[in-house]
Amino acid sequence: MLGADTEVVLDGRLLGKPRDGADAARMLRELRGREHEVITGLALVELGPPGSTPRQETTAVTSRVRMAEYSDADIETYVATGEPLDKAGGYAVQGLGGRLVAAVDGCLTNVIGLPLTTTRALLERYGLL
């Protein structure tokens, strides 16, 4: 079994997923023009036959994201799409929210939610690829 979860961290605080549109807009205002971290934790567990000890491994990948200097109108327009409501930090770099991102330092697929290079290496170590 493979599990992953992604968090946005600004000034040491987890932003998580917004509760509603107003919360998403608040997060996006906080992020505007600033840099933050996106951290995805991965866990792989191989149960094996009954009675055996499960193999497990965990890791985390961190990327840095710099947001653009977008306007309040840009935030309102984006929040109205509904896209940010189920995204950590209130944006999706792979969607319409990509317009709000100025730069990514590190793994882009990590910011999307699953760091593919790290995931592939983990699966290869377990002989699953």
Q: How far is CA 114 from the centre of its chain?
A: 8
11: confidence class by pLDDT, cuts 50, 70, 90: very high
Residue 108 has pLDDT above 90, yes or no: yes
Per-residue pLDDT for 20 more than 90? Answer: yes
| Residue 47 pLDDT | 87
CATH 3.40.50.970 describes domain 2-125:
no
Tokens 């929040």 identify what position?
A: 79
pLDDT at residue 104 in the model: 98
Nearest-angstrom CA–CA distance, 66 and 117 = 22
On the CB side of 74, CA atoms within 13 Å amount to: 15
The pTM of this model reads 0.91
Domain boundaries, the chain: 2-125
Confidence of residue 77 (pLDDT cuts 50, 70, 90): very high
| Among 56, 45, 62, CA closest to 7 | 62
Residues annotated catalytic, as ranges: 5
DSSP string, 110-124: HHHT--HHHHHHHHH
Euclidean distance between CA atoms 38 and 111, whole angstroms: 6
Q: What is the pLDDT of residue 122?
A: 94
Nearest C-alpha neighbor of 32 from the set 62, 76, 63: 76
Please, which residues have CB within 8 angstroms of residue 3's CB and are 6 or more apart in sequence? Answer: 42, 43, 44, 45
